[in-house]
């Protein structure tokens, strides 16, 4: 769903946390920017699976440390397993991980890299403004995983992302032509762009062209001449 459509339609957001006080705080913050949104809450992984299946939300904002069912212990592994389930079964679902345990996401990095929906990370220490920025990026279908990159050495860039860079900035092709050259859909090309931009730490910045910023960073890193 594009940003324009989101602004016109009734946005549906599922907020997941097993602490009622945190749920209430997250809902309040979301309502400041999305006053007309329909906000649903869930406190267990089981409830989330049922809610996503029946309600088809535009966005899921979730903690990682949650219980599988009511009365069980909240664990980060439960949240990671839930994320795997959501990304496998709903590949275009927009996700925001709001947690104090974001570095554990390194365990499912391969799944995050191929997820086609928005995927952003919001450490619980972020300000409300920063958290809403991550929500906005996820709704735009962007990826932001900077907070979990401390475990990695160097940049992880896949060959198909480099092909997109070369075709765009060395041959001057637009996304449609790039898709034809690579024998993939335009949507897949956009997916490559957002993953590449995340790897280069390039994110939307008011007043700046994100493609030009991507080209500049790619040249700095030596990915294109």
CATH (domain of 169): 1.10.10
Query: What local confidence, expressed as pLDDT, does residue 152 receive?
Result: 40
Count of domains for the chain: 2
The answer to whether 199 and 112 have CB atoms below 8 angstroms apart is no
Residue 123 shares a structural domain with residue 177: no
User: Domain end: 150, 183, 212, which one?
Assistant: 150
> What integer pLDDT is reported at residue 125 of this predicted model?
86
pLDDT in tens, 102-142: 878 877 888 998 899 999 998 888 899 999 999 999 999 99
Q: What is the CATH number of the domain that holds 89?
A: 3.40.50.2300
pLDDT digits (tens, 9 = 90+) for 188-202: 999 999 999 988 889
77, pLDDT greater than 70: yes
Asked if residue 47 has pLDDT above 50, the reply is yes
pLDDT of residue 103: 78
Asked whether residue 225 is assigned to any structural domain, the reply reads no
Confidence check: pLDDT of 206 > 90: no
Q: Are 207 and 117 in the same domain?
A: no
The reply to whether 34 and 127 lie within a common domain is yes
More confident residue, 65 or 9: 65
8 Å CB contact between 193 and 141? no
Other beta carbons within 10 Å of 178: 23
Domain boundary among 150, 178, 205: 150
Q: Coil, strand, or helix at residue 96? A: strand
Identify whether residues 28 and 49 lie together within a single domain: yes
Residues 174 and 113 in one domain: no
Residue 31's pLDDT band (cuts 50, 70, 90): very high
Q: How far apart are CA 45 and CA 48, in angstroms?
A: 5
Residue 100: give the domain boundaries.
Answer: 3-150
Residues 6 or more apart from 36 whose CB is under 8 A from it?
10, 11
């Amino acid at each position: 769903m594009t940003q324009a459509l989101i602004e016109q339609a009734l946005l549906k957001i599922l907020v997941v946390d097993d602490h009622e006080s945190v749920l209430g705080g997250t809902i309040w913050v979301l309502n400041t920017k999305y006053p007309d949104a329909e906000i649903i809450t869930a406190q267990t992984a089981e409830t989330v699976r049922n809610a996503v299946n029946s309600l088809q939300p535009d966005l899921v904002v979730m903690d990682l440390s949650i219980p599988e069912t009511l009365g069980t212990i909240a664990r980060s592994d439960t949240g990671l397993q839930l994320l795997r389930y959501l990304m496998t079964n709903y590949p275009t679902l927009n996700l925001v991980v709001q947690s104090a345990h974001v570095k554990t996401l390194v365990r499912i990095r391969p799944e995050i890299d191929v997820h086609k929906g928005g995927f952003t990370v919001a450490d619980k220490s972020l300000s409300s403004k920063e958290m809403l920025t991550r929500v906005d990026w996820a709704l735009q279908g962007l990826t932001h995983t900077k907070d979990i990159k401390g475990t990695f050495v160097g940049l992880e860039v896949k060959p198909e992302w480099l092909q997109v860079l070369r075709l765009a900035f060395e041959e001057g092709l637009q996304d449609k032509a790039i898709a034809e050259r690579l024998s993939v859909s335009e949507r897949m090309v956009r997916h490559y762009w957002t993953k590449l931009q995340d790897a280069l730490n390039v994110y939307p910045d008011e007043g700046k062209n994100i493609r030009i910023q991507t080209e500049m960073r790619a040249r700095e890193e030596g990915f294109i001449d």
